[in-house]
């Protein structure tokens, strides 16, 4: 499996560590930068490139996932989510790492380099990479609703139980 990494200055140490660790585990790691410390670098530059590579390779049928890293992981997740077809999840625990794949079929995760120990963040990434998607019907349905909105701008239909209950009942 190929793993694409991108970060900002706050994620540089974790990215270097993950490059070594994941290579040691047999992953094909692609580093999208940055490659030197610059306190003024902009995470979208690197995180969008990593997410684009994942989207492109998955569209070609290749086994590819991504990890984006920053101080909190929030901005990095947002940047990755701007790439069409990418679902990026902010991971802060073993459980969120597992569920990002199992329930959401996330292709990219974001972790906060200033939020956790190196050991914890490494474990989160390893859990994410090892987990598969459950293919549970309810998760497939929800992902399809998001994909339809992303590609066509068509919101999911309201369930009958919500029709007529307030502002959400804005039939087109």
CATH number at residue 60: 3.40.1400.10
Please give the share of the chain, as a percent, with pLDDT higher than 90. Answer: 91
Active site residue: 17, 103, 131, 139, which one? Answer: 103
User: Does residue 146 lie in a domain region?
Assistant: no
- State yes or no: is 116 an active-site residue: no
What range does the domain containing 108 cover?
2-134
Please say if the pLDDT value at position 2 is more than 70.
yes
**Paired strand residues for 68:** 6, 110
Instruction: Check pLDDT > 90 for residue 48.
Output: yes
Sheet strands (E) in 45-171:
64-70, 88-90, 108-112
Query: Which of 12-26, 91-105, 157-171 shows the lowest mean pLDDT across its residues?
Result: 157-171
What is the mean predicted confidence (pLDDT) over 37-66?
97
Interatomic CA distance for residues 165 and 156, integer angstroms: 16
pTM given for the model = 0.92
Q: How far is CA 38 from CA 8, 11, 129, 167, in A?
A: 8, 11, 29, 46
46 part of a folded domain: yes
* pLDDT at position 86: 97
Of 52, 57, 76, 116, the active-site residue reads: 76
Q: What angle do CA 89, 141, 97 make, to 5 degrees?
A: 25
- Comparing CA positions, the residue from 115, 42, 55 lying closest to residue 82 is 55
The token pair that represents 64 in the structure block: 């590819």
Q: Is-catalytic flag, 60?
A: no
112-140 mean pLDDT: 96
Total count of residues recorded for the chain:
172
Question: What local confidence, expressed as pLDDT, does residue 160 receive?
Answer: 84
How high is the pLDDT of residue 168?
59
pLDDT of 170 higher than 90:
no
Which whole number is the average pLDDT over 154-167? 80
The answer to whether residue 153 sits within a structural domain is: no
Q: Report the pLDDT averaged over residues 44-62.
A: 98
Instruction: Report yes or no on 7 lying in a domain.
Output: yes
Distance CA 23, CA 28 (A): 6
pLDDT at position 162: 77
Give the pLDDT confidence score for residue 166 in this predicted structure: 64
Let me know if residue 141 belongs to a domain.
Answer: no
Quote the pLDDT of residue 171: 53
Residue 89 lies in a domain: yes
pLDDT above 70 as % of the chain: 95
**Choice between 116 and 168, residue whose per-residue pLDDT is larger:** 116
pLDDT (0 to 100) of residue 161: 83
How many domains does the chain fold into? 1
Q: Flag whether 21 is in a domain.
A: yes
In a domain, 157, yes or no: no
């Amino acid at each position: 499996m190929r793993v694409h990494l991108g970060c900002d200055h706050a994620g540089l140490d974790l990215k270097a560590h993950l490059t070594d660790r994941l290579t040691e585990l047999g992953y094909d790691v692609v580093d999208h930068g940055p490659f030197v410390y610059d306190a003024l670098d902009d995470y979208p530059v690197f995180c969008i490139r990593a997410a684009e590579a994942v989207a492109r390779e998955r569209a070609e049928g290749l086994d590819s996932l991504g990890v984006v890293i920053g101080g909190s992981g929030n901005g990095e997740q947002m940047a990755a989510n701007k790439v069409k077809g990418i679902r990026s999840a902010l991971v802060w625990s073993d459980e969120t790492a597992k569920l990002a794949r199992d329930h959401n079929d996330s292709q990219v995760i974001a972790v906060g380099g200033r939020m956790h120990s190196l050991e914890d963040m490494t474990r989160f990434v390893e859990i994410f990479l090892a987990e598969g998607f459950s293919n549970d019907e309810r998760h497939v349905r929800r992902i399809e609703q998001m994909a339809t909105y992303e590609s066509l701008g068509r919101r999911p239909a309201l369930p009958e139980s919500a029709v007529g209950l307030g502002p959400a009942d804005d039939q087109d």
